[in-house]
Amino acid sequence: MSSLSTRLDHPTAPLVGLAVAVLAVSTSAILVTWSEAPSLVKAFYRVLFTTLLLAPFAFSRHAGDFARIRRRDVLVAVASGVALALHFATWFESLNWTTVAASVTLVQAQPLFVAVGAWALLDERVTGRTVVGILVAVAGMVVMSVGDLLSGVAVAAPRPLYGNALAVVGAVTAAGYVLAGRSLRQRIALLPYVTVVYSVCALVLLVLTVAEGHALLGYPLREWLLFLGMAVGPGLFGHTVINWALAHLESSVVSVSLLGEPVGSTLLALVLLGQVPTLATVVGGAVVLGGIYVTAGSRNEPSPPERSPSTEVSGES
């Protein structure tokens, strides 16, 4: 155990872990697209299996932290879990209607909405750089969506504008999850926090799945392996490792690194799904990522009185 701790404390370990995490989250859209189950079912089992894998470690190492969670914090955690459930539901569904490249790029835009939400709800200062970044990203979204419609991308994406809109909603709800959990992450350890939030998220997705009349059982082995793969890959090796790396690296480094997810997902979709991105997607996506980079950089400047790096950049996908 001490040898493992020594290796994890090595200066290069967080960078290696971050690289592995970005690769892991890049597989999320591919696994979701490969699965033929309803979107809500995929989302439910992704979150459920992630929770079941994390819960034993959370309760064995942080039992006291659960007991110290206040009632007010529980209500905030519930709000965070509901927002996360809506994020998964809308983003998974978006992949049925638009390309992986467009969907992943747009859903990764959650830092833009975090900045807007922090200004509107938390009275945080918005810098000129933040405004420029948001405007640039929005311009890229317009180029991507309108350009795909004009270029006839419907062969690969049956309803690209609808799918893109769902991905943007996924980014907005991911921002809601981040904003709701910011104060909690300053008071509650990571594993207890995600266990509570993921449990609420799974429950909400279960209710939505049953309400839509989707079957919870009866899927072939291939589907169960894909559900598990979503939990182990993007869930554990992706976002869990990202949160660990945030304790050792500057949040600006992690923010920029996460922009590699749309690139990685696009390349994997090209190789594994045969989805060739259109010129509009490539150009618009590059503009969106540029806007996110500018916004994320402004959010990580030391000017604001408080910041919580682990919740500013660790969006879910």
Confidence (pLDDT) at 136: 87
Which of 192, 316, 304 minimizes the C-alpha distance to 242?
316
- The residue segments making up the domain with residue 292 are 2-312
Confidence (pLDDT) at 39: 97
**Backbone torsions φ then ψ of 309, nearest 5 degrees:** -55, -40
Interatomic CA distance for residues 145 and 147, integer angstroms? 5
Confidence (pLDDT) at 8: 46
Does residue 200 form part of some domain? yes
Interatomic CA distance for residues 137 and 168, integer angstroms? 12
Q: Side chain identity at 156, as an amino acid letter? A: A
Confidence (pLDDT) at 253: 67
CA end-to-end distance (rounded Å), the chain: 31
Does residue 106 form part of some domain? yes
Q: Side chain identity at 234, as an amino acid letter? A: P
Query: Digits of tens for pLDDT over the chain (317 positions)?
Result: 444 444 445 556 778 888 898 899 999 999 999 999 999 999 999 999 999 999 998 888 877 777 777 888 888 889 999 999 999 999 999 999 988 988 998 898 888 888 888 888 777 777 888 888 888 888 888 887 676 666 655 555 678 889 999 999 999 999 888 888 776 767 787 888 889 899 999 999 999 999 999 999 999 999 999 999 999 999 889 888 887 776 677 665 676 677 788 888 989 998 999 888 888 888 888 888 888 788 766 655 554 444 444 445 555 77
Confidence (pLDDT) at 6: 47
Tokens 């994020």 sit at which residue? 87
CB 308 within 8 A of CB 185: yes
The count of C-alpha atoms lying within 13 angstroms of the C-alpha of 307, restricted to the half-sphere facing its C-beta, is: 20
Does residue 154 form part of some domain? yes
Does residue 317 form part of some domain? no
Count: domains in the chain = 1
Which of 169, 175, 151, 148 minimizes the C-alpha distance to 160?
148
Confidence (pLDDT) at 121: 78
Does residue 133 form part of some domain? yes
Q: What is the dihedral of CA 168, 255, 82, 305, to 10 degrees?
A: -110
